[in-house]
Chain A
Amino acid sequence: MSDLELKPFNVREIREEFPALRQQIYGKNLIYFDNGATSQKPKLVLDAINLFYSKENANIHRGVHYMSQKATTEYEAARQRIQRYLGARKSEEIIFTKGTTDSINLVAYSFGLSLSAGDEVLISAMEHHSNIVPWQMLCERQGCTLKVAPINLRGELIMEEFDKLLSKKTKLVAITHISNTLGTINPVKEIIEKAHALGSKVLVDGAQSIQHMHINVKEMNCDFYVFSSHKVFGPTGIGVLYGKEELLDRMPPYQGGGDMISRVTFERTTYNELPFKFEAGTPHIAGGICLGKAFEFLESIDMAAAERHERELAKYAEDMLDTFEGLQIIGEAKNKTSVVSFSVKGIHPFDIGTLLDKQGIAVRTGHHCTQPLMDFYGIPGTVRASFAFYNTKQEIDTFVEAVERSLSMLK
């Protein structure tokens, strides 16, 4: 299946593949801990971007000439690679979008047209704004109701409360697989089973899970799974909506334009088949092809070992940070991924982030597009270090020292 062989997990070797990690910022070796926002790119992807625009650039699906056919073949091969990686039944179930946000908006609009007053959409209290606002807009348009399942202080979904909110009125559960702010891994299989039992469909926001664990949509049995390329080592500006064929088939197109049509007259237009029905206009061709390369790269990584390594990093960082006076780890779910969010009493996260930056460390500070979650914890924001499999314990040692120095300056 893969062009690359599955190698034993070796961080040093993996880091060699990422040129961006080998640079200095303000005279310090860069420590990149903002992987939750976006990941760095391996050479395989970077070379493919360069090759595409140097030699292979052509529009796809319509050209009779050599280059167009080659680009079309590669773009569609990328779709098939993603289909195989995700375990989807057909490549028609893989829709290329602009990213997670675009994928969710597509479902909110198109699937959302079948909802009406009395219907409910159920989300959780730990959602990213992109998995809140499109549903609020849908509810305003269609007159349906948005329900929010609460979480406990550890940052875990309270399943008893979720069960109470889930009913026959629920037409869609839209839930994040992994919280971008807390790192909590939600029990999506259980959620999907329960939702299906009551006739609801489930959209899983995979923006923070695709890069951390092996995803199989067939096993998960979700109805929609969405993610962004740039968080999974691919280019920005492209992402994926996986949807079950029978659902996508029934959904009307989201945007009109070229490529999504079968026949256009001024009286009536008929639409193209899946997946093209949802891909109006010239797509991000290089993006699609290079996202395929990102998956080719992922296929060479032992994801189970990578996941273990990432969790070890998070545990290592948390254990050390926990000893700092006034520092509170935000998000202490039993099942969590490599996200370490924290706040420090009396110190604004912005100040910590600014000082870490000047020590060569890239973290995210602020509300992480989860303002309702910040309100729940009563804090303006957190400092978030999010690790990828190319990060190391040595980097965490340097990071912890830098946090210590920053706090001593700010207190």
Chain B
Amino acid sequence: MNLTEKQEEIIQEFEVFDDWMEKYEYIIDLGKDLPKIDEEHKTEDRLIEGCQSRVWLDSHFDHGKMHFTADSDAIITKGIIGLLIRVLDGEEPNDIATADLFFISKIGLQEHLSPTRANGLLGMVKRLKLEAIKHISAS
């Protein structure tokens, strides 16, 4: 599945929810299921400071593909991280750097990626893309 197909799959999954609380129940479950980053790995260089919630991001490059792990102190933020990682993990740097993450607004979560939300998610997407760009320029 490519980046676009993965996003379309998420949009379809969200279509079954009737109201906001159901949608958030699902996001919270995703957040609870997402593997944690060990406390000792929650270092300053991995931290993306938001005004409210904080995000830690770890990435590595393997056989031409990018892989990410991320964590947050807020469970809703973490659930959304889970969705972002599902879309971007295992993709090539070039595809990540140019990715249009249209699914976020389609499922009604654009407020979480607005600069005023200050939950670290926008910073996380920027950093994901920067990491990808580094690997493009390195190759």
Q: Which residue numbers of A lie inside 8 Å of B, CB to CB?
A: 26-27, 347-351, 354-355, 358-359, 365-367, 380-381, 405, 409-410
Contacts and interface: CB of A to CB of B under 8 A. Distances in A.
Contacts of B77: 348, 350-351
Given A354-B76, A380-B73, A410-B75, A349 B24 contact: no
A56 to B, nearest CB: 34
**Pairs A-B, 5 closest by C-beta atoms:** A348-B74, A358-B20, A350-B74, A350-B52, A350-B53
Nearest to B77: A350
B52 A409 contact: no
Interface residues of B, number: 16
B76 A351 contact: yes
A351 B24 CA distance: 10
Contacts of A359: 21
Interface in B38-56: 51-54
Given A365-B52, A366-B51, A381-B52, A348 B75 contact: yes
Given A365-B52, A367-B51, A409-B25, 9 more contacts: A349-B52, A350-B52, A350-B77, A351-B77, A358-B20, A358-B21, A380-B53, A380-B54, A405-B21
Contacts of A367: 51
Nearest to B31: A351
A355 B21 contact: yes
B28 interface: yes
Contacts of A354: 24, 76
Nearest to B79: A351
Given A366-B51, A409-B28, A350 B76 contact: yes
13 contacts: A26-B20, A348-B52, A348-B53, A348-B77, A349-B52, A350-B52, A350-B53, A351-B28, A351-B76, A358-B21, A365-B52, A366-B52, A380-B53
A174 B24 CA distance: 43
Interface string B52-91: 1110000000000000000001111100000000000000
B74 to A, nearest CB: 4
Interface string B21-41: 100110010000000000000
Contacts of B21: 355, 358-359, 405, 409
B119 interface: yes
A351 B75 contact: yes
Contacts of A355: 21, 24, 76
Contacts of B53: 348, 350, 380
Nearest to B74: A348
Nearest to A402: B21
A26 B51 CA distance: 25
A351 B28 CA distance: 9
A365 B76 CA distance: 14
Contacts of A381: 52
B25 to A, nearest CB: 6
Contact of B74 (A26, A27, A351): A351
Nearest to A358: B20
Contacts of A409: 21, 24-25, 28
A348 B74 CA distance: 5
A409 B20 CA distance: 13
A358 B52 contact: no
A410 B73 contact: no
Interface in B112-139: 119
Contacts of A348: 52-53, 73-75, 77
A26 B23 CA distance: 13
A350 B75 CA distance: 9
Nearest to B54: A380
Nearest to B51: A366
B4 to A, nearest CB: 28
A110 B3 CA distance: 58
A350 B28 contact: no
B123 to A, nearest CB: 15
Nearest to A355: B24
A358 B109 CA distance: 12
Contacts of B119: 350
Contacts of A366: 51-52
Contacts of A380: 52-54, 73
A409 B25 CA distance: 7
B126 to A, nearest CB: 19
A61 B76 CA distance: 53
Nearest to B50: A350
Contacts of B52: 348-350, 365-366, 380-381
A370 to B, nearest CB: 13
A410 B21 CA distance: 12
Contacts of A410: 28, 75
B5 to A, nearest CB: 29
Contacts of A405: 21
A372 to B, nearest CB: 16
Candidate in B21, B24, B28, B74 with the most chain A CB atoms within 10 angstroms = B74
Contacts of B74: 348, 350-351
